[in-house]
Structure 1
Amino acid sequence: MDVKDKVVEIIAEQAVLEKSDVSMDNTLEDLGIDSLGLVESIFAIEEAFDISIPFNANEPTESDFDISSVGSIVAGIKKLIAEQKG
């Protein structure tokens, strides 16, 4: 399973949607994911890929990790995997 598919699966699960309902242009807000859902998604993604995401739930806007859309999350995770797996 590639990164995009796994991230979409985790986000869809969190939003209680089908994977086909999640597009790369969607924001988490579009999908009905609140801040708690976001934190749970981040944890699930970290666990799935064995990476550490630089995200501060208390200060999401201060984070270096772009959570503005599903696509940006996928891109950020691909970059982190490349950096952390070196």
Structure 2
Amino acid sequence: MPDTVKDKVVQIIAEQAVLDVSDVTMDNTLEDLGIDSLGLVESIFAIEEAFDIQVPFNANDPSESDFDISSVAAIVKAVEGLVADQKV
């Protein structure tokens, strides 16, 4: 069982990309990993469920979202922020 936000997010992304966790690096983009728009939405849903958070994401226009999906590291950082906000 992953014990950090980073581990769990990487696990979710790896599952969506049908890759081993070891194949996912923090510098990867979702495109690098072969995750399309449907996979992105499924990843967001899985992240929301795993952390019991609401991701402010506009699937119709990702560039208008406050949720940065530019890389795995950016997604981890955004989720960490949402998890921290939830604890306040």
TM category (shorter chain) comes to over 0.9
What TM-score do you get using the length of structure 1 for normalisation? 0.98
Counterpart secondary structure, 2:39:
helix
CA distance in 1, matches of 2:64, 2:21: 29
Structure 1, unpaired ranges of 5+: none
- Structure 1 outlier segments of 4+, above 6 Å: none
Match of 1:75 among 66, 74, 77: 77
Structure 2, unpaired ranges of 5+: none
Instruction: Give the superposed CA RMSD.
Output: 0.5
Q: Percent identity?
A: 77
Q: Matched residue pairs, number?
A: 86
CA distance in 2, matches of 1:24, 1:70: 5
CA distance in 1, matches of 2:24, 2:70: 14
Match of 1:65 in 2: 67
What TM-score do you get using the length of structure 2 for normalisation? 0.96
1:53 alignment partner AA: V
Match of 1:40 in 2: 42
Match of 1:54 among 33, 56, 59: 56
CA distance in 2, matches of 1:85, 1:38: 25
